[in-house]
């Protein structure tokens, strides 16, 4: 993989005019990796912009670059660019935040930079590194391989660190490995604001979020499978009650994951004509990615999500409960 990353870094250095896209409801890794790539390319004389039509969650706003982020998409958005870089997007239909754009309609080469093992892009130039804990780790390695060994600024290093820290939940998840810790140490040496990230992301929770979490624990949480499976339904009414938006619920599922004895947890919420769900596993024996891939979804083996169309919340819960029971019964 080292040779492929070096070749891709050389490709980026020899070309120009990049537009960067990421997935809908962008999390810390999507934002950190995309902004870091944009920053690094700009710092090396390239034209690079990041299309982000969604609002950035409050805990990430302090880390966003002051320039280069495009919030509105004109009809000719892609006309002034030569390449579209899709960062942290596992499937082509997720291009441009929930399929706002289709790969076949973009009109310029589309390249995937990702770490999801179920990545469905098929381009010769795609960079897929499933062993990396975060897309930001992939971007960091691309920067290290850039011809001429240009420096990584503290601002760009902070964005890379943001992606790694959030996708590993501060190095607590199973995706953390020696390469991840080495990358974090090197970014810290480059003056990445690790403690600023920790303070903003993990130690600055609004009162409304704490109240929502309390309500989930007291009134919304269900437990089955002898305590090994816990889930909750996040209704629009519940979000409105506490003034919380969907873009702010990243990490909410960890409230369930912290419950003693659980192996798998799930969070459900309505979306359009069906129900969207997130799954997390605490045990490498139980691949929730396998469940998600059965329902228009995917992700990682221990962290995944999907969508069940045409059902209400009760039916969706029963479907996933059945799948989880089957998974937990496997030897």
Sorted by where each begins, the domain ranges of the chain are: 2-202, 208-329
CA distance 298 to 89: 11
Task: Show the CA angle centred on residue 268, arms to residues 267 and 273, nearest 5°.
Answer: 160
Check residue 124 and give its pLDDT.
78
Model pTM greater than 0.85? yes
pLDDT number for residue 189: 99
pLDDT at site 247: 86
Which pLDDT does position 296 carry in this prediction? 87
What is the per-residue pLDDT across 223-261, written as a single tens digit (0 to 9) for each?
A: 999 999 999 999 999 999 999 998 889 889 999 999 999
Residues 61/55, Cβ–Cβ less than 8 Å: no
Where does 2-202 sit in CATH, by number? Answer: 3.90.1640.10
Residue 28 has a pLDDT of: 97
Query: CA 152 to CA 144: how far, in whole Å?
Result: 8
The fold of 208-329 is Diaminopimelate Epimerase; Chain A, domain 1 (3.10.310)
Mark the ranges of the chain whose per-residue pLDDT is less than 50. Answer: none
Distance of alpha carbon 42 from alpha carbon 12, whole angstroms: 11
């Amino acid at each position: 993989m080292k040779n492929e990353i070096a070749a891709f870094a050389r490709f980026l250095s020899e070309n120009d005019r990049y537009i960067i896209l990421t997935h809908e409801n962008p999390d810390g890794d999507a934002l950190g990796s995309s902004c870091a790539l944009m920053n690094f390319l700009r710092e090396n004389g390239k034209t690079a912009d990041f299309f982000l039509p969604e609002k950035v969650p409050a805990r990430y706003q302090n880390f966003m670059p002051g320039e280069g982020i495009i919030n509105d998409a004109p009809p000719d958005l892609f006309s002034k660019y030569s390449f579209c870089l899709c960062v942290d997007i596992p499937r082509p239909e997720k291009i441009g935040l929930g399929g706002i754009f289709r790969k076949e309609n973009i009109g310029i080469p589309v390249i995937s930079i990702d770490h999801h093992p179920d990545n469905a892009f098929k381009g010769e130039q795609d960079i897929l590194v499933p062993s990396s804990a975060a897309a930001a780790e992939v971007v960091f390695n691309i920067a290290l391989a850039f011809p001429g060994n240009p420096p990584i600024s503290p601002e760009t290093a902070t964005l890379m660190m943001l992606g790694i820290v959030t996708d590993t939940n501060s190095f607590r998840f199973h995706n953390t490995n020696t390469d991840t810790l080495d990358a974090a140490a090197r970014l810290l040496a480059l003056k990445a604001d690790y403690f600023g990230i920790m303070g903003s992301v993990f130690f600055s929770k609004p009162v409304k979020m704490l109240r929502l979490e309390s309500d989930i624990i007291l009134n919304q949480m269900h437990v089955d499978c002898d305590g090994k499976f816990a889930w909750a339904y996040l209704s629009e009414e519940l979000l409105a009650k506490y003034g919380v938006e969907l873009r702010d619920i990243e990490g909410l599922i960890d409230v369930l994951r912290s419950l003693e004895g659980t192996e798998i947890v799930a969070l459900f919420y309505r979306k359009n004509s069906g129900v969207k769900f997130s799954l997390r596993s605490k045990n490498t024996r139980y691949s929730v990615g396998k469940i998600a891939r059965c329902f228009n979804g995917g992700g990682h083996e221990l962290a995944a999500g999907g969508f069940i169309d045409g059902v209400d919340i009760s039916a969706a819960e029963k479907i996933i409960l059945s799948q989880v029971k089957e998974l937990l019964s496997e030897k």
